[in-house]
Amino acid sequence: MRVRRQAALFAACVSAAALGIGGCSSTAPGSSNTNSGSSSGPIKIGVSLTYNNTAFWAAYIQYEQQYAGQDGVQLLGPELAQADASLQNQQIETLVNEGAKAIIVNPETATSLGPAIAYAAAHNVQLVSVDTIVGTGHVYMVVRASNTLYGQDACAYISSKVKSGYVLDLEGDLTSSNGSDRTNAFNDCMAANDPGVKLLKDPTAWTESTAVTDAQNALNAYGGQLKAIYSQWSSPDTGILPLLQKKNFGKVGTANHVIVVSDDGVAFEMCDIQQGTLDASQSQPADLYAKYALQYAVDAAKGVKLAAGQPGGGAPTLQNVSYNNDTNLADPIVAPFVTNTTQNLTLTAPVDSLPSSVTTTAVSDQNLWGNVYGNAHGGVCSSGANS
């Protein structure tokens, strides 16, 4: 039986940071203090992201800036690659040349950073990968939750309620570790645990308009036989949920409701779950991603040596993770699966040696980062929390 998964351990400091309250230290997992306190000035940490145009990444950037300000770290960036892997490699080279002592990067794909890693290593600069496994060389740390577990949790919820008809999987970018992990786990889990359902697999490459169009096409083709949609990230919700409501498929608890499960845990998902238009969301912790990516980057800049088995920041222990025949150290942060009320879900056939059960976290839990962030920006349903 899996224990209930929450981010409560760091809730007090996360809440304080989000609300602009002092008094919480961001001491790095591997060092005594992130503030350099030296006459040479603050440690320069570069930031290279793929996107900033989603509610998740907008929140991540704000959290990162808050933690950097608390710890006296000077951020260079964020540079934005906008899904251009070649541009991202160039931007990382520029950050190295500008004096970054370590670089936080959200890679375009798990295998796109080879040139940047090699260039940075030649200049004694290490990278911390946030949200994505790296399979093309050595990075100092991977800060990421299990995306395989994301896919299985979505399957556990949907398979517990749907036994026939069609289920739409709006797949992310299958060239990314996140998209492939969520897709493979969800599809394998549905095949093993819900064989009476016909699975529709639509790749979207993380393009919101593609996902919304695919959902509309599925509704037009199958009508009431479309029983559930798994959206592998949150942005399509803003188009899919109004579409379902317009066709009277939207309200949770109604006879013709189409189940929707998504990933991210942003404020508007907390709002939608509360209002009964979204069934569930994986709360990918933007706050802890920012917190620990920054702290590990400072550790890397200071030359701190870390190893598997040592205490993690967001996970009990650091672990080695492998992708594309490369192995890197990771802090696999625990991510809650959020529903309106707490539910216990069990699978007959879990995938990839994952636990067979999950206890969801109620959306009313104020420790959830989406609630903390939303409440600090005018409420989870406000435009200020979701722009």
- Nearest Cα neighbor of 174 from 206, 217, 215, 213 is 206
Is 386 among the domain residues?
no
Q: What pLDDT digit, counting tens, does each position of 70-110 carry?
A: 999 999 999 999 889 999 999 999 999 999 999 999 999 88
Please tell me the distance from the alpha carbon of residue 297 to that of residue 289, in angstroms, as a whole number: 12
Are residues 129 and 237 located together in one domain of the fold?
no
Are residues 180 and 217 located together in one domain of the fold?
yes
pLDDT at 325: 87
Q: What pLDDT digit, counting tens, does each position of 298-316 carry?
A: 999 999 999 999 999 989 9
Are residues 204 and 131 located together in one domain of the fold?
no
Is 387 among the domain residues?
no
CATH number at residue 222: 3.40.50.2300
Domain that holds residue 249: 147-283+337-380
Phi/psi for 281 (5° steps) reads -150, 140
Q: What is the model's pTM?
A: 0.87
Are residues 365 and 301 located together in one domain of the fold?
no
Are residues 310 and 226 located together in one domain of the fold?
no
Three-state secondary structure string covering the chain: CCCCCCCHHHHHHHHHHHCCCCCCCCCCCCCCCCCCCCCCCCCEEEEEECCCCCHHHHHHHHHHHHHHHHHCCEEEEEEECCCCHHHHHHHHHHHHHCCCCEEEECCCCCCCCHHHHHHHHHCCCEEEEECCCCCCCCCCEEECCCHHHHHHHHHHHHHCCCCCCEEEEEECCCCCHHHHHHHHHHHHHHHHHCCCCEEEEEECCCCHHHHHHHHHHHHHHHHHHEEEEEECCCCCHHHHHHHHHHCCCCCCCCCCCCEEEEECCCHHHHHHHHHCCCCEEECCCHHHHHHHHHHHHHHHHHCCCCCCCCECCCCCECEEEEECCEEEEEECCCCCEEECCCCEEECCCCCCCCCCEEECEECCCCCCHHHHHHHHCCCCCCHHHCC
Are residues 153 and 114 located together in one domain of the fold?
no
Q: What pLDDT digit, counting tens, does each position of 157-210 carry?
A: 999 999 999 999 999 999 888 999 999 999 999 999 999 999 999 999 999 999
Are residues 187 and 262 located together in one domain of the fold?
yes
- With beta carbons less than 8 A apart as the criterion, state whether 17 and 67 touch: yes
Q: What pLDDT digit, counting tens, does each position of 238-285 carry?
A: 999 999 999 999 899 898 999 999 999 999 999 999 999 999 999 999
pLDDT for residue 237 is more than 90: yes
Is 30 among the domain residues?
yes
Are residues 299 and 372 located together in one domain of the fold?
no
Are residues 199 and 251 located together in one domain of the fold?
yes
